[in-house]
Chain A
């Protein structure tokens, strides 16, 4: 078995991607296709006092101009947040109304006001500019702290002081008492910078209405087409589920931003019915910056207390989370259950308390982005640990060693029950790979070249899988977070895996097939993966939160168990042997210790011919399964970053980046390493380069790649990626998840390294040359004053 679990198999899907043969939503062309162009608010906050579309409607090629009041008249529902989070006083969250096209108020620059449907993109865009919208500007607030202040502009009537919820977790009084008795207290003010997701393929949709069947088909860039169909049907009232097919074909990256159902997809569906034409919309990059859900944007004060020996006694965290102008689909869960539940980190902490205030501002909605809450948590934990070690004069590695959780299962004070891990082993592996012992010599050598060299740790833990369904339901989730799979063995022995997971870069067509190849000792060529189409795949929850391995593959394993049982029963019957003696290997189903066998395809054929089946066995060889996990999974690891800073310009060069991850069982090490590389690249992007900037009037200043800095190859080192795994006891394959770890673990390692190099802890992300230079000047001034 060279193509099974653990094999570095090249990706089956790459042939079509690298030869330009992928089929993305924008590649799909329908007969009688029209194009949508959206009229968007140029103001961050305004009353819409009038819309005059007469001139636009008279322009060449224009089929229709549609507005919010017409959408409401057709009873298209408001966009909702699907996870109910209550305030600490028990009151429900204050969800403001979000219509796919604004009815009376716009709340961020880019808010959709009207849509033009026309024969060509150029005609649609020209007419969109001709739609006259009258606005009465309202005062604007952009940042979460200002939005909570007395007298701040009010964004939604039902959210006084722009507060969506005031949520807490943990025991405040006990934590306060622990901190009061601490021998040492480390306190940090932390901003987790706002990010734009920047999938390579921008969002797109093409909707078709079949008048005769009263049926809709939507091709769209979704990470979860079944969830999209469910929400479009149940909440947005577009069509009943049996009259709506959603297809997510090849999708070029998501990073969370394609989980949600945005106004544009809803409007394309509705407009296809209004105009009886296929309606297509493909986001421009400028629209993507304005309207794709942003990530992060936390303002946090964190206090950690230690006893005289360096043991953590308590952690108190206060976070203001900017959710933008409206609540996106999972926006409430990201800064609460995906964030504060990780605030025990890898450490034994008796007392943890966190208060999170979620806040409306006049900015684009904020939701989950690669890591979703967990990067924010690891950044809080690992900046605190490194800073505390420096303040207490301890080695950052020793401080962590002293506090690691070493026995499992481990119940933290913030809901999570960690099931496995060996944090010290990951740290040891990373330190050896990084030659930590040789660092001081390297620092001295760099100093001779005029460079400031620094090193930083990040010992992250995260939670994947988001499960079990009953547990997330009790925490407010509006969905179950299981996954489904169907394994179809065809009459010729080839196999199709139908999965509710969705691949938009993860390589499922390879790794899922490897699991099947491994089970039945078959070549990969005969195994295909089907996903992304609600008419083909039974049901599914999609791909996000690093869940496709731990949850999606587990569902496949459950279906494989059923297939294997049936194969053995059928073979035992045909070969006149006991089921217990049947083995599957080498492309055949054999009676162990004999020369009696059926070739694999003969079993498939026998199942479908059904000429000679055991008593009571149904024909066919196709089994399905739903898998609901018993717990989250907990990937963890130790990252070490080493930098050199040019004190003259503030430029940071990452000279070494080492990762030691615990992902549990690994199906394809090459793909996992790629995921780690990409995740670390995004994490370094957040730490050094990327940041969304709005001005005080709510205009997006970082609205193009001229101002929003994406990581380039030249910004990144060659990564040193290692694994030191413990098996996850919670799922059949022992998998933990690897898709987000790099982005979760890397930012604090980078910032800890830079602050070590420059001798100033007061540094915020992105640590641009300008900011690093200013921090060096401040450190020099402080030294001079001493």
Chain B
């Protein structure tokens, strides 16, 4: 690991200010991606600005039809929250199946979506549930936030502070994990929301998380697994690697979508 200067930010404003003053700062949340990358000497930020102790980025609240989760909230807290379990059980279940217990204890919602790993689970939750991403400067619809592989709409220095999830009438997430990493090889969030049926797919697409419009149309007419029987997924749009071909991932998207609908 290269030398770096650690800062514990007391507030969101403090964090942004500290980062702005540094040569090449990185925000540290749960550190589940950044720290291994630094240990392998593949990242060398001059300064680490730790967001994990910022009170205003912590916690879960439910108000009316909206669940708001602080960006610094660890996955285990989301999974274990009775508020989330009652309001959006699919979201609690998703959080409880990320990585392993150590990852869930440290990894955070904000860290996950700011990194936007194409196989991470939370991007499918945000996109599938039509969440609003709150930052220190603005609010974005999830659809405007995720921009391909590891790319987001975040500007230099911008911090995700919270995510607001509208409560769907029903939703479920089904994931086929990569046997080695346990990231998603195909993870599908299906939801009936105020905005209609949404289907978001992670882990499979070659441009990151995406909405599956053909499935949304089919489920919009007939909310059942059978409705997906004739909906195909184009293998040309899928990732292919040593763990599975594009054809296999395209197939898995269909299987996971059906399983999600059946369990919603």
Enumerate chain A interface residues (CB-CB to B < 8 A): 122, 125-126, 129, 286, 648-650, 689, 693, 701-702, 705-710, 768-770, 773-774
Question: B251 contacts the other chain (Cβ, under 8 Å)?
Answer: yes
Question: B244 contacts the other chain (Cβ, under 8 Å)?
Answer: yes
Known interface pairs A129-B41, A707-B180; 16 further A-B residue pairs with C-beta atoms within 8 A, sorted by A's residue number: A125-B41, A126-B2, A286-B40, A649-B252, A649-B255, A650-B248, A693-B242, A705-B180, A706-B180, A707-B181, A708-B180, A710-B180, A769-B176, A769-B244, A770-B244, A774-B248
- A649's contact among B1, B41, B176, by CB below 8 Å, is which? B176
Q: Classify the interface of chain B: helix, strand, loop or mixed.
A: loop
Q: With A and B bound together, what is the CA distance between A645 and B130 in angstroms? A: 35
- List 10 A-B pairs, Cβ < 8 Å: A122-B1, A649-B252, A649-B255, A689-B179, A689-B180, A707-B181, A710-B180, A768-B179, A773-B251, A774-B248
Residues 234-259 of B at the A interface (beta carbon under 8 Å): 242-245, 248, 251-252, 255
Q: With A and B bound together, what is the CA distance between A585 and B252 in angstroms? A: 68
- With both beta carbons as reference points, the residue of chain B lying nearest to A651 in the complex is identified as B176
- With both beta carbons as reference points, the residue of chain A lying nearest to B176 in the complex is identified as A649
**A120: min CB distance to chain B, Å:** 11
Q: With A and B bound together, what is the CA distance between A744 and B245 in angstroms? A: 30
**B248: min CB distance to chain A, Å:** 5
Q: With A and B bound together, what is the CA distance between A649 and B176 in angstroms? A: 8
- With both beta carbons as reference points, the residue of chain A lying nearest to B244 in the complex is identified as A770
Query: Given A129-B41, A709-B179, A709-B180, are A773 and B242 also a contact pair (CB < 8 Å)?
Result: no
Query: Are A706 and B181 in touch, CB under 8 angstroms?
Result: yes
- With both beta carbons as reference points, the residue of chain B lying nearest to A766 in the complex is identified as B179
Residues 1-47 of B at the A interface (beta carbon under 8 Å): 1-3, 40-41
Query: Which residues of the other chain, A, contact B245 by a CB distance below 8 angstroms?
Result: 770, 774
**B176: min CB distance to chain A, Å:** 6
Q: With A and B bound together, what is the CA distance between A649 and B41 in angstroms? A: 37
Query: Which residues of the other chain, B, contact A705 by a CB distance below 8 angstroms?
Result: 180-181
Q: With A and B bound together, what is the CA distance between A577 and B161 in angstroms? A: 91
Residues 210-264 of B at the A interface (beta carbon under 8 Å): 242-245, 248, 251-252, 255
Q: With A and B bound together, what is the CA distance between A125 and B180 in angstroms? A: 28
**A698: min CB distance to chain B, Å:** 15
Query: Which residues of the other chain, A, contact B244 by a CB distance below 8 angstroms?
Result: 768-770
Query: Which residues of the other chain, B, contact A709 by a CB distance below 8 angstroms?
Result: 179-180
Query: Which residues of the other chain, A, contact B179 by a CB distance below 8 angstroms?
Result: 689, 709, 768-769
**B258: min CB distance to chain A, Å:** 8
Q: With A and B bound together, what is the CA distance between A122 and B1 in angstroms? A: 7
**A355: min CB distance to chain B, Å:** 31
Query: Which residues of the other chain, A, contact B252 by a CB distance below 8 angstroms?
Result: 649
**A503: min CB distance to chain B, Å:** 30
- With both beta carbons as reference points, the residue of chain B lying nearest to A650 in the complex is identified as B248
- With both beta carbons as reference points, the residue of chain B lying nearest to A689 in the complex is identified as B179
- With both beta carbons as reference points, the residue of chain B lying nearest to A708 in the complex is identified as B180
- With both beta carbons as reference points, the residue of chain B lying nearest to A701 in the complex is identified as B242
Query: Are A770 and B41 in touch, CB under 8 angstroms?
Result: no
Query: Which residues of the other chain, A, contact B242 by a CB distance below 8 angstroms?
Result: 693, 701-702, 707
Query: Which residues of the other chain, B, contact A286 by a CB distance below 8 angstroms?
Result: 40
**A14: min CB distance to chain B, Å:** 24
Query: Given A122-B1, A125-B41, A286-B40, are A707 and B243 also a contact pair (CB < 8 Å)?
Result: yes
Query: Which residues of the other chain, B, contact A126 by a CB distance below 8 angstroms?
Result: 2
- A768's contact among B1, B183, B243, B251, by CB below 8 Å, is which? B243
Query: Which residues of the other chain, B, contact A769 by a CB distance below 8 angstroms?
Result: 176, 179, 244
Query: Given A122-B1, A648-B255, A707-B242, are A773 and B180 also a contact pair (CB < 8 Å)?
Result: no
- With both beta carbons as reference points, the residue of chain B lying nearest to A715 in the complex is identified as B179
Query: Which residues of the other chain, B, contact A650 by a CB distance below 8 angstroms?
Result: 248
- With both beta carbons as reference points, the residue of chain B lying nearest to A773 in the complex is identified as B248
Residues 190-218 of B at the A interface (beta carbon under 8 Å): none
- With both beta carbons as reference points, the residue of chain B lying nearest to A126 in the complex is identified as B2
Q: With A and B bound together, what is the CA distance between A125 and B44 in angstroms? A: 14
- With both beta carbons as reference points, the residue of chain B lying nearest to A646 in the complex is identified as B255
6 A-B pairs with the lowest CB-CB distances in the bound complex, closest first: A770-B244, A709-B180, A706-B181, A709-B179, A648-B255, A770-B248
Query: Which residues of the other chain, A, contact B183 by a CB distance below 8 angstroms?
Result: 706
- With both beta carbons as reference points, the residue of chain A lying nearest to B186 in the complex is identified as A649
**B250: min CB distance to chain A, Å:** 12
Query: Which residues of the other chain, A, contact B40 by a CB distance below 8 angstroms?
Result: 286
Q: With A and B bound together, what is the CA distance between A76 and B251 in angstroms? A: 56
- With both beta carbons as reference points, the residue of chain B lying nearest to A286 in the complex is identified as B40
**B150: min CB distance to chain A, Å:** 15
**B187: min CB distance to chain A, Å:** 13
Q: With A and B bound together, what is the CA distance between A710 and B100 in angstroms? A: 14
Q: With A and B bound together, what is the CA distance between A650 and B181 in angstroms? A: 18
Q: With A and B bound together, what is the CA distance between A693 and B255 in angstroms? A: 27
**B116: min CB distance to chain A, Å:** 17
Q: With A and B bound together, what is the CA distance between A701 and B243 in angstroms? A: 11
Q: With A and B bound together, what is the CA distance between A478 and B63 in angstroms? A: 77
C-beta contact mask, B140-184 vs A, less than 8 Å → 1, else 0?
A: 000000000000000000000000000000000000100111010
Q: With A and B bound together, what is the CA distance between A693 and B180 in angstroms? A: 13
Query: Which residues of the other chain, A, contact B1 by a CB distance below 8 angstroms?
Result: 122
**B84: min CB distance to chain A, Å:** 25
Query: Which residues of the other chain, B, contact A774 by a CB distance below 8 angstroms?
Result: 245, 248
- With both beta carbons as reference points, the residue of chain A lying nearest to B3 in the complex is identified as A122
**A691: min CB distance to chain B, Å:** 8
Q: With A and B bound together, what is the CA distance between A445 and B179 in angstroms? A: 27
Q: With A and B bound together, what is the CA distance between A262 and B234 in angstroms? A: 48
Query: Which residues of the other chain, A, contact B255 by a CB distance below 8 angstroms?
Result: 648-649
**B35: min CB distance to chain A, Å:** 14
Residue among B176, B183, B248 with max Cβ neighbours from chain A (10 Å): B248
**B178: min CB distance to chain A, Å:** 8
**A715: min CB distance to chain B, Å:** 8
Q: With A and B bound together, what is the CA distance between A707 and B185 in angstroms? A: 12
Query: Which residues of the other chain, A, contact B2 by a CB distance below 8 angstroms?
Result: 126
- With both beta carbons as reference points, the residue of chain A lying nearest to B251 in the complex is identified as A773
- With both beta carbons as reference points, the residue of chain B lying nearest to A647 in the complex is identified as B255
Q: With A and B bound together, what is the CA distance between A774 and B248 in angstroms? A: 8
Q: With A and B bound together, what is the CA distance between A769 and B248 in angstroms? A: 9
- B243's contact among A122, A129, A770, by CB below 8 Å, is which? A770
Query: Which residues of the other chain, A, contact B180 by a CB distance below 8 angstroms?
Result: 689, 705-710
- With both beta carbons as reference points, the residue of chain B lying nearest to A770 in the complex is identified as B244
- With both beta carbons as reference points, the residue of chain A lying nearest to B1 in the complex is identified as A122
Q: With A and B bound together, what is the CA distance between A132 and B212 in angstroms? A: 49
**A176: min CB distance to chain B, Å:** 39
Q: With A and B bound together, what is the CA distance between A539 and B183 in angstroms? A: 49
**B155: min CB distance to chain A, Å:** 29
Q: With A and B bound together, what is the CA distance between A769 and B179 in angstroms? A: 9
- With both beta carbons as reference points, the residue of chain A lying nearest to B254 in the complex is identified as A648
Q: With A and B bound together, what is the CA distance between A649 and B259 in angstroms? A: 11
